[in-house]
Structure 1
Amino acid sequence: MVRKAVIPAAGLGTRFLPATIAMPKEMLPIVDKPAIQYIIEEAAASGIQDIIVVTGKSKRSIEDHFDRNLELELLLAERGKDSLLHKVREVAQLADLHYVRQREAVGLGHAIWCARKFIGDEPFAVLLGDMIIDAPVPCLKQLIDVYEQHGHSCLGVEQVLPSETEKYGIIDGTQCGERLYSVDRLVEKPMENPPTNLAISGRYILEPDIFPILERTQRDAGGEIQLTDALQMLAKHHTLLAYQYEGRLFDVGDKLGFLKATVEFAARRELLGTEFRHFLRRFVLQTEEEGDGRGENG
């Protein structure tokens, strides 16, 4: 059974500077929840019992967010704000969270390797902290079901536009079932001639034999140990599957993806959505009118 998960959250968040000088990118809010909370909620809804978050310097606010805040709870209780009190307590009860430091920012593969003692000899999940997947059945639960049926490491993949393949790791393989592929190789951010348009989407179920492979993986030209390189070696000697999950990916580590997630999640909120959708309609109409006016004048 897959009971443990690793969430790498040690990145510097340079794409969101200056906002991330002191705030972890994983704590940037999507409406009223930090991005990493959506990830942890998905893991908990998928049956994960223990989560290890791999952090780095200036990430203490992640630990504080998922800890009990007795002073805040007491204040909310005294003021009769029971709904908010429930939300605050719920955050601290999502799962058992543990933390380990990646002392040097040398890539995603190394970040996962840092969790090896916590994982031991069990299969485990990996969820990237800047990839939110909106799905009726949690994406991770879909992958766990595939793993429990087939018993092999499995990647979550999504079809992307051919013009977007250069942003992702892309798989090449053979379809071996409904939405299921046997992976022959992986290509990291291909600038041209991608083998497919199936992009790795930040969800993995991995066997513990990935750890000795990560230990042997050479650093790339940028000095980082890449998970994709280790998975490439894994695919040469073991069965590696990819599952095209049902759901929609939001890359909230990218500014446009962050804005898309914020707009869509806000538009669905029961108390916020109606007014927000009205605002968006007015904004679009106003922008189109202003655009038409500029076109007429010049």
Structure 2
Amino acid sequence: MKRVKKAIIPAAGLGTRFLPATKAMPKEMLPIVDKPTIQYIVEEAIESGIEDIIIVTGKGKRAIEDHFDHAFELEQNLFHKGKIELLKKVQESSKMVDIHYIRQKEPKGLGHAVWCARNFIGNEPFAVLLGDDIVQAKTPCLKQLMEQYEKTKSSVIGVKPVPKNETHRYGIIKAKAASGRLYEVEHLVEKPEIEMAPSNLAIMGRYILSPEIFTFLAKKEIGAGGEIQLTDAIEQLSQIERVFAYHFEGTRYDVGEKLGFILTTIDFALKNSDLKRPLRDYLERVLSEEAAIDNL
């Protein structure tokens, strides 16, 4: 059995939910405190044992490549000013792992973005990590899936239960067998109508996939939202080989929409030793003022 060594990070989306902020800046570069969201995703891949990463970008995404490259003038400036700790933080992103890039020339959906990286992957299993989901866990989320892949020797999808009224926002699985947190998948559907959702187990942006998936992605079939959906290809894959879903441990943060992004930033800031106390004091003061206004 081949080991999972490569990962795809799709980053070609237009980021329309964050306009106008993302008119000239990729949404993947929006910071959570002092680190862009995509760096959290790359760090998870590395901590899970991934050796090579390909980021699928699109027009206007050059800032992502620049972030993971050396910034000679900035680094020299920090060095000469004696800001060594800050220099180390700046250099971290350029020393992580081998990162490759390919452009998705047209925004045709997640399935198409993954298909664009087919030549990089070749004939071996691989990981996919989506940038809209940051997961904080004792064992990295992707590592948990890789461990299940080693046990099942099959594709594994990361899932979490969601409220029934939110199932229309996600890819949803139907399981035919379960063993603890591991489910054998019977059926998958992308963004079903609430009354049609087969369960409340939602796909959360982490995948270990067999290279056979490219056979179905190559068909470029149009699915929900008029796009080529990865979920649809996995559904077809499940008809010829076993596919599993794993309810991973850890806290999942949704940074793909405004409120989730704000809440994530607050939560991460409250875990920062320098920011925790002043932020907590500020929040307590604001809540106290709001309560006073409500009581008028």
TM-score normalised by the chain length of structure 2: 0.96
CA distance in 2, matches of 1:222, 1:269: 39
1:91 paired residue number: 93
Determine the C-alpha separation between the residues in 2 that align with 1:134 and 1:125. 18
Question: Which sections of structure 2, spanning at least 5 residues, go unmatched?
Answer: none
Matched, 1:144 2:129: no
Q: Match of 2:49?
A: 47
* Contact 1:165-1:189 within 8 A present in 2 as well: yes
* 1:1-298 equivalence runs, <5 A: 1-193=3-195, 194-220=197-223, 222-293=225-296
**Is the Cα–Cα contact under 8 Å of residues 191 and 224 in structure 2 kept in the other structure?**
no
Per the TM alignment, residue 190 of structure 1 is displaced from its structure 2 partner at its CA by 2.0
Which residue in 2 is equivalent to 1:296? none
Q: Do the aligned residues in 2 keep the contact of 1:217 with 1:230 (CA within 8 Å)?
A: no
Distance 1:204 1:248 in 2: 17
| Distance in 2 between residues matched to 1:162 and 1:124, nearest whole Å | 31
Give the SS at the match of 2:157: strand
In the alignment, the residues of structure 1 paired with residue 82 and residue 292 of structure 2 have an alpha-carbon distance, to the nearest angstrom, of: 47
2:207 counterpart letter in structure 1 = Y
Compute the displacement of 1:222 (Å): 4.1
Tell me the secondary structure at the aligned position of residue 90 of structure 2: helix
The two structures have a TM-score, normalised by structure 1, of 0.96
| 3-state SS, counterpart of residue 226 of structure 2 | coil
Q: For structure 1, which runs of at least 5 residues remain unmatched after alignment?
A: 294-298
Change beyond 3 A, Cα 1:47–1:221: closer
Name the amino acid aligned to 1:100: I
Q: CA RMSD in A?
A: 1.1
* Stretch deviating more after TM superposition (223-232 or 203-212): 223-232
Per-residue Cα deviation, 1:17-37 (whole angstroms, up to 9, x for no partner) = 111111111111111111101
Secondary structure of the residue aligned to 1:61 is helix
The answer to whether the 8 A contact 1:140-1:203 is kept is yes
2:185 alignment partner, SS class? strand
| Partner Cα distance (1:186, 1:82) in 2 | 50
Cα displacement string for residues 235-268 of structure 1 (whole angstroms, at most 9, x for unaligned residues) = 1111000000001111111111101110100000
State how far apart, in whole Å, the 1-side matches of 2:220 and 2:177 are: 28
Q: Which digits, 9 at most, give the CA deviation of each residue in 1:252-292, with x for residues without a partner? A: 11111101110100000011112111111111121122222
Whole-angstrom CA distance in 2 between matches of 1:220 and 1:2? 28
**Contact 1:3–1:49 (Cα < 8 Å) also in 2:** yes
Q: How many angstroms apart in 2 are the aligned matches of 1:222 and 1:241?
A: 25
Match of 1:188, as an amino acid? Answer: E
Task: Please report how far the alpha carbon of residue 202 of structure 1 lies from its aligned counterpart in structure 2 after TM superposition.
Answer: 0.1
Report SS of the residue matched to 1:216.
coil
Runs of 4+ in 1 over 6 A off after TM superposition: none
Distance in 2, matches of 1:188 and 1:275, equals 42
